[in-house]
Amino acid sequence: MKKMISGFLGLTMIVGFSSAAFANESTIASGDDSTYPKFVKIQKPSLAVIGDADEVEPNNTPGYADEVPEGNINGVVSGSGDIDWFFFNATDSVSTSAYVFFQEDSAGNNLSGTITLYKENTDGTLTRIGSSTGEEWEYVDFNAVEGKNYYVKITTSSSKNVPYMVEYPAF
Ligand SMILES: [Ca+2]
């Protein structure tokens, strides 16, 4: 596990992030986030790598969410002003979990973040399933329904850039 994490950090530092990605931040409602209105999914360049991949900004709204490939996807949530959205399609109806690993900073201090999981309704709205805040591994359990899309929102209250890895759930 230690070796995998250090490799992940190296990738993240190469990719970095762009401050231009924050342009859509005001479209995210603050306060009650139990349900997001219906949105139009934006077609972005597909992730070239099957397996480990890196987030593609902008991903600050559900419509710009990056797909979680089989394996995992790396990202950096850039302080409390950034939001990173991901989605995946459930390939089976099972009880499973959505996992994220929040990395430590370069000085070895743990960094904290929040994972929030949503399900996509048939009318295109998102309903919050649950969330978890903390350091290192955080997860949300859910009952996946085959064929349905699920959305993962990554945020942090830290003023630092928090690197993380979102795992493709076990189905
Ligand atoms: Ca973002």
Residue pair 150/112 in contact by the 8 Å Cβ criterion = no
Q: Is residue 36 part of a domain?
A: no
% of the chain residues with pLDDT over 90: 57
CATH of the domain at 119: 2.60.120.380
Token pair for residue 22? Answer: 């924050």
pTM: 0.76
Q: Is residue 33 part of a domain?
A: no
* Region 140-158 average pLDDT: 96
Q: What is the pLDDT of residues 3-17, one digit of tens each?
A: 444 444 444 444 444
Q: How far is ligand 1, taken at its centre, from the CA of residue 78, in Å?
A: 7
Q: Is residue 35 part of a domain?
A: no
Burial 87-97, CB ≥16 within 10 A → b, else e: bbebeeeeebe
Is residue 54 scored above 90 in pLDDT? no
Token pair for residue 147? Answer: 């064929």
Amino acid at 19: S
Q: How far is ligand 1, taken at its centre, from the CA of residue 138, in Å?
A: 19
Q: What is the pLDDT of residues 9-52, one digit of tens each?
A: 444 444 444 443 333 333 444 445 567 888 887 776 655 444 46
Domain count, the chain: 1
Cα–Cα dist 83/76, whole Å: 10
Comparing CA positions, the residue from 109, 61, 48, 122 lying closest to residue 87 is 61
Q: How far is ligand 1, taken at its centre, from the CA of residue 96, in Å?
A: 25
Please tell me the predicted confidence (pLDDT) of residue 45.
Answer: 61
Q: Is residue 15 part of a domain?
A: yes
* Region 80-94 average pLDDT: 94
